[in-house]
Structure 1
Amino acid sequence: MLGRKLLVAAILALGMVGAPVAAHAADTAAYDRLLTRYVAASADGINRVRYAAWVSSLKMFARSTPMWPHLNAIARRA
């Protein structure tokens, strides 16, 4: 009985830790794809640098706020 409770607790703990980690990795990959598309389509280097700085600041802001999923959805549409 105790072994089963420990197993259930371990599975729940892994899910609580693993799901946000996987979501964060997917979000980071989405921003990286967005940046890659922009840089590949941009003709001048100044816009590339400005955009890279903007994406970097957006990532930092998004990680510090509960609005992260909404920002991610906006970035995927762009």
Structure 2
Amino acid sequence: MRLLSPSCTRFPNTRKCCIISLMHDKQDESLAVLIEEFLTARATRKPSPHTLAAYRRDLHTVASLVAEDATPPLPLDAL
């Protein structure tokens, strides 16, 4: 069982935690490692193997598309 981060922002009246607050210490981890951690966490809920395979395929596809995008970000005044 993974313990919640001390800086975790909990939702009122629940034990749920904002995923972003759990990732503050993950800045140097590769996206592939984070994807595998996500899939491992999802596997504890015993989804279909096909569902996990679809998550893996979709997340790696999105990561590839983001990595290929060489378009510079828009400046704020262009928005």
Q: Same fold (TM over 0.5)?
A: no
TM-score for both structures, normalised by structure 2: 0.40
Q: Which has the higher contact order (CA 8 A, sep 6+)?
A: 1
